[in-house]
Copies of this chain bind each other. A is one copy, B any other.
Amino acid sequence: METGTADQKTPVEDADSGATRLSRADEAYQVLKRRILDNDLPAGAQLLEQELAESLNMSRTPVREAMVQLERDGLVEIRPRHGMRVLPISADDMREIYDILTALESTAAGLAAERGLSEDEIATLDVCVAEMDAALAANDLRRWARADEEFHARLTELSGNARLTALVEGYVERTHRVRMVTLTMRPKPTRSNQDHRKVVDAIRQRDPDRARRTHRRHRQRASALLTDLLRAREGGP
């Protein structure tokens, strides 16, 4: 590799925001994941270890480590002589993932209701709901999507189950690409906002069963909507 490029010797002279010092492998993982989630590396893209190593300015070793993790995330597939391939998401995949999300998130809602949240904690959810309403009123779909993700993330957090939170985050990430693409294809998500309000209400009233059921129905509707859109797209163009 070109010995001319200087900045690759010391692993931690990055001098970026002084945040947690990343190992090369972690850096590779994060950068690649970001590129994939942002559709910068579109589904179907094929990339060899060597190319990636060069583009990330490191050797193949940490890149490999990152690739293995991305494969575990279900974002890419490693095909021995063809590098890694960014996986597309089919309607069936989406249904599977949404079933998992439905299971996990509705349980999270139930747990939150069981625990009995403080009014402050519930307020964080209210804020998200309000933001979603505002975004919808302003017809700003991206803003709505951000608030929606925020709501779901907060809700899951409030379950008090760190593993569950992390797990859900991973699956949400996987759906991110698709949700962004279908954002403009779906009807205005007014119903969604109503659903959220009902879930918050059930949590506030400490009714786990209702929280679970309500959230489950909410996610099932979202799932049906998205998979239908995807299926249409698969059949169509």
Contact = CB atoms under 8 A, between A and B. Distances in A.
A82 interface: no
Classify the secondary structure of A's interface with B.
Answer: helix
Interface residues of A, number: 24
Interface of A: 61, 64-65, 68-69, 72, 74, 93, 96-97, 99-100, 102-104, 106-107, 111, 159, 161-164, 167
10 interchain residue pairs of minimum CB distance:
A103-B107, A103-B103, A96-B163, A96-B161, A103-B104, A100-B164, A99-B161, A72-B72, A65-B68, A100-B163
B68 A100 contact: no
A84 B164 CA distance: 24
A96 B99 CA distance: 20
A104 B111 contact: no
Contact of A69 (B68, B96, B107): B68
Contacts of A103: 103-104, 106-107, 164
A68 B163 CA distance: 18
A97 B163 contact: yes
